[in-house]
Structure 1
Amino acid sequence: MEPKLYRLPLEVRGMTSLDKEAFTQTITVPALRVPTGVLNKVVKSLKKSTIQRPGVPRVVQDKEESSDFRLVLLDPHSVSSLSSFSEAEALRSFGVAEELHYYELRLTYDNLKSEEVLEAVLPQGQDVTSAFSRVGHIAHMNLRDHQLPYKNLIGQVIMDKNPGVTCVVNKMNIIDSTYRNFKMEVLAGEENMVAKVKENGMTYEFDFSRVYWNPRLSTEHQRVVQLIKRGDTVFDVFAGVGPFAIPAARLGASVLANDLNPESYRWLQHNCKLNKVESKVRSFNLDGRAFIQGPLKQELPALLKGKASVHVVMNLPALALEFLDAFRGLLHQEPPTDENLPTVHCYGFSKDNDPDTDVVKRASCSLGFPLEDRCSVHFVRNVAPNKDMMCVRFTLPKEVLYCRGDEHTEPSEEPAPKRQKCEETTYSSL
């Protein structure tokens, strides 16, 4: 007897409002009748062949209700007959009869994986996604146009199948606003956008609908923070809610953190208190260029005379490279004898075939100074097909930072045509 493989009922195709009962059906699965004395050993040896389905037991009561035997349920997709059963020799050693039994198994919506439900519901031949980013209790999805008619069903399935998720949202447009947030639509669950997350040992709270947070950047946050030592100073130009600033302060660095978004600024201050680093972080609510030419400029001369390192973090990959021109001629006095020039970590997106060269070229253009052979480039992540996020790290050249007399006009006047071309290249890469 061939086992009836599990196939979802045809009537669920095209469903837009979730009807859990419609997914219920009974299937026939192969089973082995195993003496209870060797049950644990047999189950362990059969772990690749037993049925693996949410909420379905692998061991059930023997049909004959004998206390001396149990039925071990097998995966019907991999075991259809004794000839396809690779563990036959192991079974003989345990005294298990080489005979397949069959068990009527009732499967419900609760026993299905999210991918199975969505594949059964959405039109055949179209992409099915159950992928999402987890931000505390919020599951954040990027649905495609053909999935939108099923958005509420998709949201409900994602919430049902992922413990702890109580809200599912869909991003409605790209992140292109001044404050780096995006409009979201709640697909399922509560409309509570205040999330609490842990990253690299720190705790953050924020309104996910009003600030920028990307859970895929935790490794990058850690990588940069590990370059910072106790006593260093960090200028975080686009700080968000603090994923660079707070762990740097926890390590003992002095941090000046800035963000233009008033909500990010508020949650940054909240998270500094939450992680008990408020005494090590000074927060600002300024435009990035104003922060560089204000607080950073004021603090830098004294810091350059010290021995501790200075780091400038610029994590606004859509625009940060363009802000590098704010460093041109920032300081007007003679360079100190013992220079301690800042290390800049600047992020950018690139769609170029050679993203390393592309971001270095654009950074050089904004600075008005060639960075080739004077910087390192780190690949952060692939954001979309043919779109990479990169980090350019370099020591801020003194030729850029210091300007005297007629030198001050050279970067802003002479390279103007080249800079315009660079800006065009930058925007085409976003």
Structure 2
Amino acid sequence: MSVFFCKNIRRTITLLSASTRVNSRALSLSLCCGALKTPVRAVHSSAMPDHKGGGEPSLFTPPLEVRGMTCLDREAFSRTVTVPALRAQKEVVGTLVKSLKKVMLQLPGVKRVMEDDDKHRLLLLDPTRVSSPNSFSETESQALEKLGVPLDFQSHELQLTYENLKADEILRAVLPEGQDVTSGFSRVGHVAHLNLREHQLPYKNLIGQVIMDKNPGVTCVVNKTNTIDSTFRTFQMEVLAGDGNMVVKVRENGLPYEFDFSRVYWNPRLSTEHERVVDLLHPGDTVLDVFAGVGPFAIPAAKRGCNVLANDLNPESHRWLMHNCRLNKVEHRLRVFNMDGRAFIRGPLREALPALMKATAGVHIVMNLPALAIEFLDAFRDLLGHESDQKQSISTLPQVYCYGFSKKEDPCKDVVDRASASLGILLDGHCSVHMVRNVAPNKEMMCISFPLLKEVLFSRCSETDALEEPAPKRQKCEEPE
């Protein structure tokens, strides 16, 4: 079939497809490749769109019979396809692969160069990009001519299996057409953590198995089954695939951590924020970490040469925090507590603060519990009693980094207003606000930073007239921070 004839067929089909909504690319490919000895089998016209609702279809769509599968049958994904190939002398193959890299076949587990005979090799081409000699760019055509490769297309038959498909291609083929497909997840060590939607739940075990199959090193896949408990910042989870081992090993900003992911809080999306705050510290500073978790602020601060008092209410977090101190060889720089955050502020932090404020080194108070931390700020009111009781002048004011969620249209103003109300002073002009990340639509995680002013720390009345300590507040956290 001549190139001219191919062009006319392609033009005709394009006009037809505008009114009939036929996949013109698939049809033109199968017709224009009539010059091949064996026709190229094009992408099926009903190929699933990607999970965002558009985009190019998969190069080779899995068989339609897999739609609705809930128990993974890997054999059902096998199929035979035929692709175009160029025959070239083996001496020029290396150069030819570089010249044609944009149009060569790219499928997981499939070799792009196949042996033909002792002197020749077959270069497999992507049929969605190459349908005739006219498909090559000018640069590619010149390279073929220079290397003496004839534009005589051959067809090559491939046996494709489950192993040649990507996770999102498999899930698009299996889940109901038109529904959102998830192949995204948070990875914590060997555990992949999903947040499945209701329509995906009938396929949850298949999804878990596919995620594990397609991601080397993942040996357990879990799905979150409820909101975070704001007391210990943990959530219930269901094992979808794998061995169920929840004790993970991770590295964040170059440091190792170990913990039971099912019993403590850990968010891999906060590594940049941990690094940002730690970069503000200097050797010899003191860090008071009110909600320390397993140590993502406390451990790197100690590694930086800071002295750290780290607290967490969750007994499991406390245990793994001590373990991670030993793991990173910083136990000599940390004192670890297992207390309610308000009790820690009114106890160990209060005891340490007067001496720290009379020294010249920096003092930093970290409060990373976005669902509740701002409500704990009132614990600093009149914390140090009457200023006249201090025997020496104050050299350093503590710097606070307090995290909070906001759903307001102006999240910066929201956290400033709430923090001001909790402290009992106006923070405008005395604070800065940093947007950490978007947690959910219309929900931001913010960090407000400010010095603890004397007006907050010291009372104007005698210590016996100080305000009574408020009872701790509890609430549910809708999203992981």
Same structural fold, with TM-score higher than 0.5 when normalized by the shorter chain? yes
- 2:413 aligns with 357
Structure 1 alignment gaps of length 5 or more: 417-422
Choose which of 285, 290, 295 in structure 2 pairs with 1:232.
285
Contact 2:61 2:169 in 1 (8 A): no
Which amino acid counterpart does residue 275 of structure 1 have in structure 2?
N
1:47 aligns with 2:68: no
CA deviation map 1:5-44 (0-9, x unaligned): 3221111000000000000001111111121111001101
SS of the residue corresponding to residue 345 of structure 1 reads strand
SS of the residue corresponding to residue 156 of structure 2 reads strand
- 2:302 aligns with 249
- 2:234 aligns with 181
Give 1:333 deviation, angstroms: 3.5
Which amino acid counterpart does residue 253 of structure 2 have in structure 1?
N
Structure 2 alignment gaps of length 5 or more: 1-32, 34-38, 44-59
1:12 aligns with 2:34: no
SS of the residue corresponding to residue 107 of structure 2 reads coil
Contact 2:230 2:477 in 1 (8 A): no
CA deviation map 1:234-254 (0-9, x unaligned): 000000000000000011100
Which amino acid counterpart does residue 3 of structure 1 have in structure 2?
V
- Please say which of residues 168-177 and 270-279 is displaced more in the overlay: 168-177
Give 1:302 deviation, angstroms: 0.5
1:162 aligns with 2:215: yes
Contact 1:169 1:186 in 2 (8 A): yes
Aligned counterparts of 1:338 and 1:281: Cα–Cα separation in 2: 24
Choose which of 40, 44, 67 in structure 1 pairs with 2:118.
67
CA deviation map 1:155-209 (0-9, x unaligned): 0000000000000000001113411000010000001000000111111100000
Give 1:406 deviation, angstroms: 6.9
Give 1:411 deviation, angstroms: 7.8
Aligned counterparts of 2:242 and 2:424: Cα–Cα separation in 1: 51
- 1:30 aligns with 84
- 1:145 aligns with 198
Which amino acid counterpart does residue 51 of structure 1 have in structure 2?
L
- 1:305 aligns with 358
SS of the residue corresponding to residue 168 of structure 1 reads strand
Query: Map of 1:205-224 to 2, 5 A cutoff?
Result: 205-224=258-277
Aligned counterparts of 2:175 and 2:78: Cα–Cα separation in 1: 18
- 1:134 aligns with 187
- Please say which of residues 90-99 and 285-294 is displaced more in the overlay: 90-99
| Change over 3 Å in CA distance of 1:16–1:304 after alignment to 2 | same
Give 1:412 deviation, angstroms: 7.9
Aligned counterparts of 2:159 and 2:129: Cα–Cα separation in 1: 19
Give 1:407 deviation, angstroms: 9.8
CA deviation map 1:256-290 (0-9, x unaligned): 00000000000000000010001111000000000
- Please say which of residues 326-335 and 109-118 is displaced more in the overlay: 326-335
Aligned counterparts of 1:172 and 1:33: Cα–Cα separation in 2: 55
Which amino acid counterpart does residue 354 of structure 1 have in structure 2?
D
- Please say which of residues 4-13 and 75-84 is displaced more in the overlay: 75-84
Give 1:77 deviation, angstroms: 2.0
| Change over 3 Å in CA distance of 1:428–1:328 after alignment to 2 | farther
- 2:129 aligns with 78
Contact 1:38 1:94 in 2 (8 A): yes
Aligned counterparts of 2:86 and 2:418: Cα–Cα separation in 1: 66
Which amino acid counterpart does residue 173 of structure 2 have in structure 1?
A
Aligned counterparts of 1:72 and 1:411: Cα–Cα separation in 2: 80
- 1:342 aligns with 398
- 1:56 aligns with 110
Contact 1:328 1:367 in 2 (8 A): yes
Give 1:82 deviation, angstroms: 2.1
| Change over 3 Å in CA distance of 1:359–1:412 after alignment to 2 | farther
Give 1:99 deviation, angstroms: 2.5
Aligned counterparts of 1:262 and 1:427: Cα–Cα separation in 2: 20
Which amino acid counterpart does residue 19 of structure 1 have in structure 2?
D
Aligned counterparts of 1:195 and 1:231: Cα–Cα separation in 2: 32
TM-score by length of 2: 0.84
SS of the residue corresponding to residue 140 of structure 1 reads strand
Which amino acid counterpart does residue 201 of structure 1 have in structure 2?
G
Contact 2:230 2:371 in 1 (8 A): no
The structure 1 segments of at least 4 consecutive aligned residues displaced by more than 4 Å after TM superposition are 406-413, 426-430
Give 1:230 deviation, angstroms: 0.5
Aligned counterparts of 2:153 and 2:269: Cα–Cα separation in 1: 47
CA deviation map 1:400-424 (0-9, x unaligned): 01113179979889xx9xxxxxx9x
Larger radius of gyration: 2
Contact 1:31 1:74 in 2 (8 A): yes
State how many pairs are aligned.
418
Which amino acid counterpart does residue 222 of structure 1 have in structure 2?
E
Contact 2:290 2:345 in 1 (8 A): yes
1:379 aligns with 2:435: yes
- Please say which of residues 122-131 and 333-342 is displaced more in the overlay: 333-342
1:107 aligns with 2:160: yes
TM-score by length of 1: 0.93
- Please say which of residues 347-356 and 260-269 is displaced more in the overlay: 347-356
Contact 1:233 1:309 in 2 (8 A): yes
1:263 aligns with 2:319: no
Contact 2:224 2:235 in 1 (8 A): yes
Contact 1:88 1:98 in 2 (8 A): no
Contact 1:329 1:408 in 2 (8 A): no
Contact 1:368 1:411 in 2 (8 A): no
| Change over 3 Å in CA distance of 1:138–1:21 after alignment to 2 | same
